[in-house]
Amino acid sequence: MSEKIGEQSLLKYEKLYNWGRTLITSGVIQNEDKFPSENILQKKFGYSRQTVRTALNQLEAEGLIKRVKGSGTYVSYEGNLRNGERPRIGLILSYFSDYLFPRVYDGIDSVMKEAGYDIDVAVTKNRLNDEALYLEGLLNGNVAGFIIEGTRSFFPNPNIRLYEEIRKRNIPTLFIHNHYSNQRFDSVEMSDARAAYKLTEILIQNGHRRIAGIFKYDDMQGIERYKGFVECLSDYGVKFDDDWIRWYSTKDMEEKLSKKGLLRMYRRTKDCTAMIVYNDEVAGYYMEFLEERGLHVPEDVSLVSFDDEELQQDARVKVLSVVHPKYNLGRITGKNLLRMMDDPDWQNKNYSYRFPVSINDGNSVKDIR
């Protein structure tokens, strides 16, 4: 038993270490920028203090961060001098703090390095003004191509002029995870609606009829997952109830997923036997909330999610979750962009890709038939 726990702790440490290392070496967090504290990392990843400290110690030993007593932890990595003659692509992401980021980035980077390209990374933090700023900067830098994760992607994008300029200059551009309804660009994405349908179907087939949900409304992924959820309920004739659905956005995430916010959700859904949530990070928050109330997954409520990250500390429960392709998503995106860059007529071709749905072997669903 102790060996198994040790392996799990090592895996968590490796995930956190790789996350931090990728943020630093990619230039997302730059030299002298403040690095997240132990407490922030504990809360975000749901890891123990010792696991977080071990990862930070490794980053410090490699000279990537430094701890300043009474002030905090800072990046201490200046990076390598770029070969000015190497062609570059622009990578614009909506988040850097996402636990998926390192593996998606590594997949893209592995393909681009093989082809002799550098990557300029920019992070919008889901702010459209920042997206405009970075698009302008990268356009002025004459990048050879773009990989873009949409910012507030559910809403029509206002940076129309800049995307028209990309098309006018014939710069190959590929979206990841989502796309804009008012822009015509190909994308590499999960099959989010289909995945949500499959998760909901599993709950229904296990006897659940009162199913609640937590969804994110400012990103297309959240809307697609909601779409698959309600379509499955309708197909199986299962009741939908507005009071059983909780919505949040980037701006109000901390408030909506706080203990007070989750308590409001729980009071409306306490008669529900199951819940589908936006991703494993949210699943971790909700499981922690339930545990504090003496409730358990799946004994008291079944839970399904997306990303297959197992962020929660409870080794007893593995959340039934849709597998995010992570590294492979990055690889396919990079390869498709290279094909586009070799194709003068890329604007009239289809370079999109949708991953088939894959679900892990989680044990967070109780059969109540």
Task: Please tell me the predicted confidence (pLDDT) of residue 79.
Answer: 67
Q: What share of the chain is helix, strand, coil (3-state, %, to 5)?
A: 45, 15, 40
77 vs 22, 63, 81, 157, CA distance in Å?
A: 12, 7, 12, 35
Structural tokens at position 8: 């799990």
Of 55-64, 103-112, 163-172, 226-235, the poorest mean pLDDT is in: 55-64
Task: Please tell me the predicted confidence (pLDDT) of residue 29.
Answer: 80
- The phi and psi torsions of 34 (rounded to 5 degrees) equal -75, 135
Task: Please tell me the predicted confidence (pLDDT) of residue 18.
Answer: 81
Task: Please tell me the predicted confidence (pLDDT) of residue 82.
Answer: 53
Structural tokens at position 71: 């002030």
pLDDT tens, 71-87?
889 998 876 545 556 89
Best CA proximity match to 359, nearest among 124, 190, 149, 172:
190
Domains in the chain and their CATH numbers?
A: 2-75 (1.10.10.10), 88-190+326-355 (3.40.50.2300), 192-323 (3.40.50.2300)
Q: 67: alpha, beta or left, given left = phi > 0 and alpha = psi -120 to 50?
A: beta
The rounded distance, in Å, linking the Cα atoms of 203 and 198 is: 9
pLDDT tens, 316-340?
899 999 999 999 999 999 999 999 9
122 vs 95, 97, 188, 201, CA distance in Å?
A: 9, 13, 19, 38
pLDDT tens, 185-195?
999 999 999 99
Best CA proximity match to 20, nearest among 81, 74, 91:
74
Is 317 within 8 Å of 298 (Cβ atoms)? yes
Beta pairing class for 145-148 and 88-93: parallel
Structural tokens at position 154: 């559910």
Strands (E), the chain: 34-35, 65-68, 72-75, 88-93, 118-123, 145-148, 173-176, 187-190, 211-216, 245-248, 274-277, 302-307, 320-323, 353-355
Mean pLDDT (the chain) is 90
Owner of token pair 């109540």: 368
pLDDT tens, 33-89?
888 888 888 877 778 888 888 889 989 888 888 988 888 899 988 765 455 568 999
276 vs 304, 308, 327, CA distance in Å?
A: 5, 14, 25
Is 25 within 8 Å of 31 (Cβ atoms)? no
